[in-house]
Amino acid sequence: MPSFSEKLEAAIRIKKTPALVGLDPRYDMLPDGLKHSGCSCCSENHHHGNYLNPETIATAFGQFCYRVIDIVAPLVPAVKPQIAFFEQYGSMGLFALENVIHYAQQKGLLVILDGKRNDIGSTAAAYADGLIGAKSSIWGGDALTVSPYLGDDSLEPFAQTAKDRDAGIFVLVKTSNKGGSMLQDLIANGKPIYQHVAEYVESLNVSDASANGYGNIGAVVGATWAEQLTELRAVMPHTWFLVPGYGSQGGSAKDVAGAFDANGLGAIVNNSRGIIFAYKTGEFAGKYDCWEDAVLAATKAMIIRLAEDTPAGKL
């Protein structure tokens, strides 16, 4: 079986783009045609106000994500469901997430679960067992985002499970949010903490890299830190980057150019709100009668910009 690194490279080469679509459904942002009108009174678990039935929201999330997947599947290599947006609606939301994962994979997409999980020992192993492995875990993620701040022993179960199951993980190294610098930029033993994390992630890949030169243990490095993207590419030459922060968070195609190697590989760039809610916010808002047309236009625009302004144009 090909490794996750090999599967990711193949998917990127087939679609000729490193564009990644984030699935972050929010009920208040959904097109009106997907919102169900029925509200229910509070359940016994709620003690104030009126709430939409979680089943109603979960059903709408599923329908919305299926339609987005239908549009982007011919164009991009992968999607990234954000677990929290489904999880907040309990079992019905998680049921919708499970169906979205399977639907995306049936459409030929890799699925990167954005859960930022971690713990130590058997708990970390349980997270890894449940979430990583398209055909060998309950949730079936091709890859998972993981927090490193419990230390190297907390990452080992994820890394080992990924290796055993031809799956991947993406470790938070330099996140796109401004507040991340509070910890990640602190100097320890002469260099910032994010660089210590980067060096450890790279060390996991050096001896395990696929023929393409990259291992299965990726790094999350934000598009909002263009200088650090270039710096960290040099520090982690065997590491795939997942780059959030493009679009709505302010990152541009030029900002992410440093994430790639000379052949246009090495990175996958995420755009969530800028694509799935393009009909409502950003440059495509109000330009299309059909929200799906805005999703298509935003996806194609991202692909063109990455090709024009980064080494991904060589794919």
Residues belonging to the active site: 116
Q: Are 9 and 261 in contact (CB under 8 A)?
A: no
Beta partners for residue 187, in sequence order: 192
Report helix, strand or coil for 179: helix
Distances (CA, A) of 258 to 158, 269, 310: 27, 12, 8
Query: Residues with Cβ < 8 Å from 209, sequence gap 6 or more?
Result: 5, 215, 238
Is the backbone of residue 223 left (phi > 0), alpha (psi -120 to 50) or beta? alpha
Helix (H, G, I), strand (E, B) or coil at 289: coil
d(CA 100, CA 73): 13
Identify residue 27 by its one-letter amino acid code. Answer: Y
Alpha-carbon 287 to chain mean position? 27
Answer for the pair 173, 221: CB distance below 8 angstroms, yes or no: yes
Q: How far apart are CA 140 and CA 160, in angstroms?
A: 16
Contact assessment for residue 304 and residue 310, using Cβ atoms and an 8 Å cutoff:
no
Q: Which residue matches tokens 């930022």? A: 116
Number of helices (H) and strands (E), helices first, in the chain? 12, 10
Report residue 80: phi and psi, to 5°: -130, 90
Q: How many CA atoms lie within 13 A of 140 on its CB side?
A: 14
